[in-house]
A and B are shown apart, each in its own frame.
Chain A
Amino acid sequence: MAAVIQAQGLGKRYGRRWALTDCTLDIPAGRVVGLVGPNGAGKTTLLHLTVGLLAPTSGSVRVLGGRPAANPAQLAKVGFVAQDSPTYAGLRVADHLKLGARLNPGWDAALARGRIGRLGLDPVRKAGKLSGGQRAQLALTLGIAKRPELLILDEPVAALDPLARREFLQGLMEAAAEHELSVMLSSHLVSDLERACDYLIVLVDSRVRVAGAVEGLLATHHRLTGARRDPTRLPADQHVVAASHTDRQTILLIRTVGPVHDPAWAVHDVGLEQLVLAYMRHPETTALGRPTLAAVPPDATEVSL
């Protein structure tokens, strides 16, 4: 399948600080990609590089085969909803749609009107008078009605209450299903994205810690518990992501493509949230001499899809 985002050694430096370092990604089309990481990890930088609001300091990124924001055709293919669902407070809802129609060659006016109607947004109401959830839905409507091939959203649900959050994700998933849209959205909470995403990127301290199809990630990560032992003496194909010990017990979170045969371990599945937290909490696991940065191999990321 064609790649929607391909990054090669992508990096961005502000002054002496690298906001994104050596980022390599190959994301297939038709995915809903969750970009997760703590605040300040570099999520917005990666998204801005992808839409072309920033130019890379090093490396390169191709989006739907082209250079970000290279020309009008490229701009039309990628939709972007920036942080805090940007709308014009002084403009009415209908003005936003008019603006969308003027600025976007592929504008789907019927879709926009239909969505605003179903949401019950009053066209003459000013955006500044809308609730946070309604403003987010207006911004999402603009993003969808542009009819992009890839829609990128920066922390779209961070400021929303649980109900508005749910309704927003319902609308987004509906659009993804209806228009075969590829989606990439960021959040510092994986629980927001757990149902919606089928591809996950974990970004910590400006580096991609892990990236891959959710199903593959869940199938290749396990929690092992057993009597205390040295985690560096595991088989070569088992990479330790996180380790904790008591005087008697060892608990490991490992990544491996093969099955775990050692009967001394009790093997448990890992949920997406545990997996992400393990990568966030242990950015130093590479110090054990075991690489944990590599993305899961492609054959493992596509299990049974």
Chain B
Amino acid sequence: MIEFHLDDRSGLSPYLQLVRQVRQALRLGPLDEGDQLPTVKEVVAGLAINPNTVLKAYRELEHEGLVAARPGVGTFVTATLADAALVAHGPLRQDLRRWLARARRAGLDEESIEALFMTTFRTAAEEGIAWPPSSRPRGWAKGTGGAGR
């Protein structure tokens, strides 16, 4: 079982934060096929959020084929995201570290690095080049601050 948390200052809608936390748990291991998600009542009672927010997040995960609702029982994980992609994290992280070191040597401070990364990330995602269609994050454009609409 996982426990959700909400960050009021993340700029992401609560529903999207829940969806991402499940995806993350599927990717990194805490959630596995067959595991049960907290019930809507549990999430709502824990976070003091609107029940429809949780329902919407669970529907979205269901739509993505990651979980399935068993009426009267609960919502269960039906797929996992912890696949080959996880293996790629190591080398990618190394590349990123090297890139960060170069950015610093070039005189960029943290803020400039973050801004450069985010604008590149956004432009790439908008142009659809960074993601093969199957792995493009859903609802991405909606939750990222809305720049460049």
A residues contacting B by CB (< 8 A) are: 30-32, 166, 169-174, 176-178, 194-198, 218, 222, 259-260, 266-269, 305
- Given A178-B41, A195-B6, A195-B14 in contact, is the A173-B50 Cβ separation under 8 Å? yes
In the bound complex, how far is the Cα of B146 from the Cα of A259, in angstroms?
11
Partner of A177 from the list B6, B40, B147 (CB cut-off 8 Å) is: B40
A198 lies within 8 A of B145 (CB):
no
- What's the least CB distance linking B57 to chain A, in Å? 12
List 10 additional A-B contacts (Cβ < 8 Å) besides A198-B52, A259-B149: A32-B52, A174-B41, A177-B51, A196-B50, A197-B50, A260-B149, A267-B146, A267-B148, A269-B11, A269-B145
B56-95: contact bitstring with A at CB < 8 Å (1 yes, 0 no)? Answer: 1000000000000000000000000000000000000000
B146 lies within 8 A of A169 (CB):
no
Residues of B contacting A177 in the complex (Cβ-Cβ under 8 angstroms)? 40-41, 44-45, 51, 54
B145 lies within 8 A of A169 (CB):
no
Name the CB-closest residue of A to B46.
A170
B2 contacts partner chain A, Cβ-Cβ < 8 Å = no
- What's the least CB distance linking B119 to chain A, in Å? 13
Most buried by A among B48, B146, B149: B48
In the bound complex, how far is the Cα of B53 from the Cα of A269, in angstroms?
19
Identify the 8 closest CB pairs spanning chains A and B, nearest first: A177-B51, A174-B45, A169-B48, A269-B146, A170-B48, A173-B44, A195-B49, A177-B44
A32 lies within 8 A of B50 (CB):
yes
Residues of B contacting A178 in the complex (Cβ-Cβ under 8 angstroms)? 41
- Given A32-B50, A195-B6 in contact, is the A176-B44 Cβ separation under 8 Å? yes
B47 contacts partner chain A, Cβ-Cβ < 8 Å = yes
Partner of A195 from the list B47, B147, B148, B149 (CB cut-off 8 Å) is: B47
